[in-house]
């Protein structure tokens, strides 16, 4: 009977204690910088890789479709919001800015698709960051990949 608590404790993920000690904001910051990095550091490598590839390709295709990285203009609120959404792509956004990409070509047939891809990439990464927060704080993920025997990760509680 006395072993029950010990067994329950033994099912915890080895990193659970270290997660509780570390700041969840760290994982969010990592995820915001590089899509999926927060999940990878949390031990969910497969999930993080999916986010990195999907968001990265969304951003790359958005640039390739001649989408625009919108400037931060306070006088144009919608443009400002679009720019902030695109900023959510983190390293991809910074790299595109540094390489001088994302000027956008409104005359291109794919211009609207392009900036839609860029905006969705940024917004999707913001959701991913919130997901990393939930995992790091133990609010989500007790059976990560258990059904298919995927990556080794477990509860953060």
Q: Return the HEC string of 4-72.
A: HHHHHHHCCCCCHHHHHHCCHHHHHHHHHHCCCHHHHHCCCHHHHHHHHHHHHHHHHHHHHCCCECCCC
Our finding on whether 150 is near other proteins (CB under 8 A) is: yes
* DSSP letter (8 states) at residue 103: B
Span near other proteins by CB under 8 A; candidates 8-16, 22-30, 48-56, 98-106: 48-56
The binding track of 18-47 with respect to other proteins, each residue x by CB under 8 A or -, is ----------------------------xx
Over its C-alpha atoms, the chain yields an Rg (Å, rounded) of 19
Nearest CB to other proteins, comparing residues 54 and 80: 54
The binding track of 63-102 with respect to other proteins, each residue x by CB under 8 A or -, is --x-------------------------------------
Nearest CB to other proteins, comparing residues 80 and 116: 116
């Amino acid at each position: 009977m006395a072993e029950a608590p010990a067994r329950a404790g033994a099912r915890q993920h080895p990193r659970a204690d270290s997660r509780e000690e570390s700041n969840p904001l760290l994982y969010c910051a990592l995820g915001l910088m590089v899509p999926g990095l927060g999940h990878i550091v949390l031990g969910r490598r497969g999930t993080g890789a999916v986010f990195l590839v999907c968001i990265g390709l969304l951003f790359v295709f958005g640039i390739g479709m001649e989408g625009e990285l919108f400037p931060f203009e306070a006088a144009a609120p919608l443009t400002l919001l679009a720019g902030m959404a695109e900023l959510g792509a983190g390293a991809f956004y910074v790299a595109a800015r540094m390489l001088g990409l994302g000027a956008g070509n409104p005359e291109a047939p794919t211009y609207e698709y392009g900036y839609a891809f860029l905006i969705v990439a940024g917004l999707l990464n913001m959701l991913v960051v919130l997901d990393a927060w939930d995992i790091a704080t133990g609010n989500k993920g007790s059976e990560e990949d258990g059904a298919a025997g995927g990556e080794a990760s477990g509860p953060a509680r």
